[in-house]
Structure 1
């Protein structure tokens, strides 16, 4: 089972959207932008990387959906996907199945685990990379947590998006069952949220499948200058 938050989503772009995009001088050498903690820049994701991320995440979500029987078990299994370590999964049978079905996971502390999902959480990793693929700037993400307090109750990715990209995304959000909002104190960014990690991954796949190349939008950043 995949936990789902029932709430009204809206794919309409908020009227007070600022559509701010960073310039080269706004990109830090370390960390990310927006004063979020523990974040980093994900810029210039290529098509193959975005496609792989969507597929890998979808496969992990399918395993989670098959094995989780409660919200608490969902958290344990999803956390294993995030960290690469299954020791936090209480059920020994589930641990064995995870090691068999997701080869990147380990029963022992990995020496240097970057992970199939690029050190992001399952359910928002693919969307973060898809937004970067179309030239947006993901700045923070959270898949939502059932058993512990985090800054989002459901999957959400904050991103710097200009008006062109936001307008192109809006019908895809509607199709996937996702929505826009602007978070308190983060008015320069658009947040994309979803009722569950199923919808957020579905949106990532739509973005990757429908995007027809960087020439569709104006280029706002010269990555070679960074």
Structure 2
């Protein structure tokens, strides 16, 4: 039960917005854009991005199969992300003690997060974008709660104009869109979508297309 938001997104190339990577002096331990609890992913190669995309899809499929409502999806997804059996729906761990999902959630807390502490549905795309030279500043899969800071899946990012031009047809084909993130910091754009399924499709398209066509050398006639 992967939630879908009833929102419209604009897949048009954001020609009127400022673009470019942030200056090194503008990025510190708090990241870029005055977000909380963020960190810089840094350089990512294609193989790293592919591994993240594949692991994310495996985990999302498990959570999807185990949940029947948005509330159940939220509880199980959070349990996977933070490694807390207590976050699973009441009684789930007792009813399915040998399930792969319970094993993943009950992992040793000293082990690394399955998605490097990123959320389900935004991790793969964040890594895919980093692998083509984008700077990702923050992300949110959107949560079934009153505390969610976004009503739709979003990734705030910065990139050079040719990279955004290269990315735009893939954004359109996957049902995603752009919006202006510059209220947070100059040159920030927002990738947004109705569902993380759109983001996962976009991640696949980015990795596949980048294998055959360098985004830095992409044509500008999008």
Q: Quick one: structure 1 residues 104 and 174, their matched pair in 2 at CA, closer, same or farther if it must change by over 3 Å?
A: farther
Q: Give the aligned partner of residue 188 of structure 1.
A: 187
My pick for the range that moved more, 99-108 or 136-145, is 99-108
Counterpart in the other structure of 1:173: 171
Task: Provide the residue aligned with 2:220 in structure 1.
Answer: none
CA-to-partner distance for each residue in 1:80-126, whole Å, 9 max, x for gaps? Answer: 12112222112433676586324762437x43243111101111111
Q: Secondary structure at the match of 2:178?
A: strand
Contact 2:84–2:106, Cα closer than 8 Å, also in 1: yes
Q: Tell me the equivalent position of 1:34.
A: 33
* 1:92 corresponds to: 91
Equivalent residue runs for 1:1-226 within 5 Å: 1-28=1-28, 30-93=29-92, 97=96, 100-102=99-101, 105-107=104-106, 110-183=108-181, 185-186=183-184, 187-212=186-211, 216-217=215-216
Deviations 1:188-223 (A, max 9, x none): 2110011111111111111111113896417xxxxx
Q: How many residues are matched?
A: 216
The answer to whether the 8 A contact 2:4-2:195 is kept is yes
Structure 1's 52 and 171: CA in aligned 2 closer, same or farther, altered over 3 A? Answer: same
After superposition, the Cα gap between the structure-2 partners of 1:74 and 1:163, relative to the gap in structure 1 and judged at 3 Å, is same
The 2-side partners of 1:181 and 1:70 are apart by 29
Q: Distance in 1 between matches of 2:97 and 2:198?
A: 23
Q: Which moved more, 1:201-210 or 1:86-95?
A: 86-95
Q: What are structure 2's unaligned runs of at least 5 residues?
A: 218-222
CA RMSD of superposed structures (Å): 2.3
